[in-house]
Structure 1
Amino acid sequence: MKRRLLLTFAAALLVAQGASAQQVIRLSTTTSTENSGLLAYLLPAFEARTNSKVHVISVGTGKALELSKNGDVDVTLVHARPAEDKFVAEGWGVDRRDVMYNDFIVVGPAADPSGIKGGKDVLAAFRKLAAGPAKFISRGDNSGTDIMEKAYWKQVGTQPPGAQYVSAGLGMGEVLNMAGEIGGYTLTDRATYGVYQAKTGLALMVEGDPRMFNPYGIIATNPAKHPGVNYKGARQLIEWMTSPEGQAKIAQFRPAGQQLFFPSAKTDLSALEPGK
């Protein structure tokens, strides 16, 4: 009996030691990677391989970069290339790598009161939206999507007037829900729209403009600025996300059979071929 108790205690101790050895990696990221279900699909494989637990903070790109700048996270996954380059140039982030891409699209009510459906020119569509009768719902949260949207308005030199322009200050999923409820238009990443399309009833209006290209990058928080960050864990996540295994997992993420993200890391592309 005593020997059995000792064995039970030893086994419990080993389990406890194994649990305590699990590293925590703090990741700030955009709402699109979270709302789409991509991270829930990807991270378990990485966590099992590295005995890690990734704590995800899902916010807009601006806030995600700010969390890294403040040393509140170890690594960030975002989609606003000019802001990312500035972040790295200022020394807040290191080891930036391309991960994947998709595209932005304009969506709106099926009745299309502004008459933009089927267009391939996002600026022409935005001019019509500025003059049209329906409301436009903006993220208004300094996210990558919000930054891109405001760049379009700047290029066309106008935007919807007064109450026709709604700055929501919300994540992409919530903005899509709002647009669906009030019959408005919005700019969205294709991945989040794919998840919310059925529940919002919004229709795809404009796609295919090269100006709507949407690349994602992953960046480690600079340990020289914040010595307390888990730089080792950040590097492990970066290396895995951009490895043939990680890139293949991204390509295989196809809810309802539709590919929402396309791998873009410089890796052995043969690993992404079907059946591998």
Structure 2
Amino acid sequence: MDKKINAVYFSATDTTRKVVEGIAEKIAQDMKAGTEISKFDFTLPHEREKELAFTEEDIVVLGTPVIAGRVPNVLLKYLNFIRGNGALAIAVVVYGNRNYDDALIELKDILELDGFKVIAAGAFIGEHSFSKILAKNRPDEKDMSIVANFGDQIYNKIEIEHKLDAIIVKGNKPYMKYYVPKNEEGIPVDIRRVTPKTNSQCTDCKLCVKVCPMGSINYDDVTKLDGICIKCGACVKKCPTNAKYYDDEDYLRHKVELEIEFADRREPELFV
């Protein structure tokens, strides 16, 4: 088949990127030799200012992380303006081992409204953005083996079976409300305004400024935020001196709760 393969993703800590690129690369391998993959990383703010449009000649593997059980609401404006124009799409969400709730069905719906034909979808697991323990180092070797098999299934569906039927994925309509953590008394707590702190180990290397997907960390004073924090974990996990951290009690309690309650390994779910 003469199709262009595209890997499109938002991936603050590289887990979604790894899954999306892995799927795209396997589809490309199954095609003829020399098939190139176009990569569109819309993690950083300036990349979300660019128009993105495809044609019927494209296969697009598009992935986002799951935040509070849904597609991140900060991405909705950008995602709604991507133009599919009949391109084939694979919807991918990556979550931190709790649950993907309605994120996958929501992403599928968004892509279909954008003019894509969604022929496959998958929910994968990546290390939780809050934690270095929960789903540690995932997607791991086992996950990437499933990613490769998923790529094979997609290729077979398109090229061998010639089936481009719409798929059904798990999820609710209307979508569930965003997941909200609770305190010890079972009362919902709002951690949306919680922001990272900076300790004395900071060397002012500015890496946190460069990796913040919201462009919120002040360049002149990296201890300050000029915008929102989505708790993606990029500044904390990528800091070379471990200078970024959270100290909010509700956030930390929820982090530990997640690490305990959802310690059992969850596996990817595929829809082809």
Question: Normalising to structure 1: TM-score of the pair?
Answer: 0.35
Query: Greater helix percent: which structure?
Result: 1
- Higher Cα Rg, which structure: 1
Question: Normalising to structure 2: TM-score of the pair?
Answer: 0.36
Query: Greater strand percent: which structure?
Result: 1
